[in-house]
Amino acid sequence: AQSVTQLGSHVSVSEGALVLLRCNYSSSVPPYLFWYVQYPNQGLQLLLKYTTGATLVKGINGFEAEFKKSETSFHLTKPSAHMSDAAEYFCAVTLGGWRGGNKLTFGTGTQLKVEL
């Protein structure tokens, strides 16, 4: 079985401040991990993914995440928040390899608010 836990359903940061969104996973096999972003009334857009190789992955819009197997974590960070980053962010996991039909198990989401 696989699952993800996102700590904090709401995170608020000031513009220019560090963004840190937390995600911990549980998987019986090496996981593939993803972060998606959802803007209001829109679908899900892939921010970044970890499959194999380098554990620090860079995504779009200046976001990056680090896969830490020892901590079973895949936290999302951005050095400097921008107002346009305000959205809901979802961490997701699938079985290692593209087995299981790439079924994604999502976390409950973190709503990011960026304040002036």
Residues near another protein (CB under 8 A) are: 36, 41-46, 49, 90, 98, 101-109
Tell me which residue of 8, 1, 2 sits closest to 108, measured CA to CA.
8
Nearer to another protein, 81 or 87 (CB): 87
Using only the alpha carbons of the chain, give its radius of gyration.
Answer: 14
CB of 80 to another protein, least distance (A): 27
CA dist 45 and 7 (Å) reads 21
Nearer to another protein, 73 or 105 (CB): 105
CB of 98 to another protein, least distance (A): 5
Q: Is 94:100 a contact under the CB 8 Å cutoff?
A: yes
CB of 46 to another protein, least distance (A): 6
CB of 29 to another protein, least distance (A): 17
Nearer to another protein, 73 or 94 (CB): 94
Nearer to another protein, 61 or 102 (CB): 102
CA 76 to chain centre: 5
CA dist 81 and 13 (Å) reads 7
